Amino acid sequence: MEPAGTIAALALAGVTPDQITHVVLTHMHPDHIGGLYGEGPTFPNAELVVPKLENDFWSTQDSAAYKAKVAPLIDKARQINAGDEILPGITAEAAYGHTPGHTTYLLSAGDQRLLLTGDSFNHYAFSVSRPEWKVLYDNDKDAAIVTRKAVLARLAADRIPFFGYHMPFPAVGFIADTGEGSYRFMPATYQFSV
Ligand SMILES: [Zn+2]
pLDDT tens sequence across 65-122:
999 999 999 999 999 999 999 999 999 999 999 999 999 999 999 999 999 999 999 9
Instruction: Mention the CATH class of domain 82-194.
Output: alpha beta
Q: Which residues of 119-130 are buried (b: 16+ CB within 10 A; e: fewer)?
A: bbbbbbeebbbe
Task: Tell how far the Cα of 193 is from the centroid of ligand 1, in angstroms.
Answer: 32
pLDDT tens sequence across 19-68:
999 999 999 999 999 999 999 999 999 999 999 999 999 999 999 999 99
pLDDT band at 182 (very low <50, low <70, confident <90, very high): very high
Sign of CA dihedral 41, 43, 45, 51: negative
How many helices and strands in the chain, by DSSP H and E?
6, 10
pLDDT band at 2 (very low <50, low <70, confident <90, very high): confident
As a whole number of angstroms, the distance between CA 7 and CA 59 comes to: 26
As a whole number of angstroms, the distance between CA 144 and CA 137 comes to: 10
Task: Tell how far the Cα of 137 is from the centroid of ligand 1, in angstroms.
Answer: 7
Domains of the chain, by residue range, sit at 1-80, 82-194
Q: At 117, is the secondary structure helix, strand, or coil?
A: strand
Residue 58's pLDDT is 98
Residue 154's pLDDT is 98
Mean pLDDT computed over 133-159: 97
191, pLDDT greater than 60: no
192, pLDDT greater than 80: no
Strands 47-51 and 78-80: parallel
Residue 129: what residue type?
Answer: S
Task: Tell how far the Cα of 72 is from the centroid of ligand 1, in angstroms.
Answer: 21
In the sheet that 162-164 helps form, which strands lie side by side, from edge to edge?
Answer: 85-87, 90-94, 103-109, 112-118, 162-164, 172-179, 182-187
Residue 170's pLDDT is 85
Residue 133: what residue type?
Answer: W
Residue 170: asked if its preceding bond is cis (omega within 30°), the reply is: yes
Task: Tell how far the Cα of 192 is from the centroid of ligand 1, in angstroms.
Answer: 31
Task: Tell how far the Cα of 139 is from the centroid of ligand 1, in angstroms.
Answer: 9
Task: Tell how far the Cα of 33 is from the centroid of ligand 1, in angstroms.
Answer: 10
Task: Tell how far the Cα of 118 is from the centroid of ligand 1, in angstroms.
Answer: 7
